[in-house]
Amino acid sequence: MPSMAQAGSTQRREAKLFRNNRSQAVRIPVEFELPGEKVLISREGNRLIIEPAPQGAGLLAVLATWEPLNEEFPDVDKGLQPLTDVEL
């Protein structure tokens, strides 16, 4: 697999386009292979940008990247009458 330095270089190679059901697909040459099984694709003008999708456990992986909040949350019970115990 190529290093990220190679992948970011201006190396170019022609690749074949084909149809896969109603989608257009491209055969990616081995020297441009990406890790994983999913990619993110975006467009900038006439260029398509294909990059590896973040690997991880979905929401848990995203939450793990968040910094802790350093703020006080408001007391939502302030001003309410105290609860009374209910026997069932």
| pTM listed for this prediction | 0.48
Number of domains making up the chain: 1
Q: Would you say residue 87 lies in a domain?
A: no
Classify residue 76: in a domain, yes or no. no
The pLDDT tens digits along the chain (88 residues) read 444 445 556 788 999 999 999 999 999 999 999 998 899 999 999 999 999 988 767 788 788 889 988 998 889 988 999 889 999 8
Rounded to an integer, what distance in angstroms lies between the CA atom of residue 67 and that of residue 88?
Answer: 43
Domain of residue 51, CATH code = 2.10.260
Q: What's the pLDDT score for residue 9? A: 60
Is 43 inside any structural domain? yes
**Distance between CA atoms of residues 33 and 57, nearest Å:** 22
Q: Residue 88, Cα to own-chain centre: how many angstroms? A: 49
Which residue range is the domain that position 37 belongs to? 4-64
Closest to 18 measured CA to CA, from 4, 5, 28, 8 = 28
Assess if residue 80 is contained within a domain: no
Indicate whether 86 belongs to any domain. Answer: no
81 part of a folded domain: no
Predicted confidence at residue 48, as pLDDT, reads 93
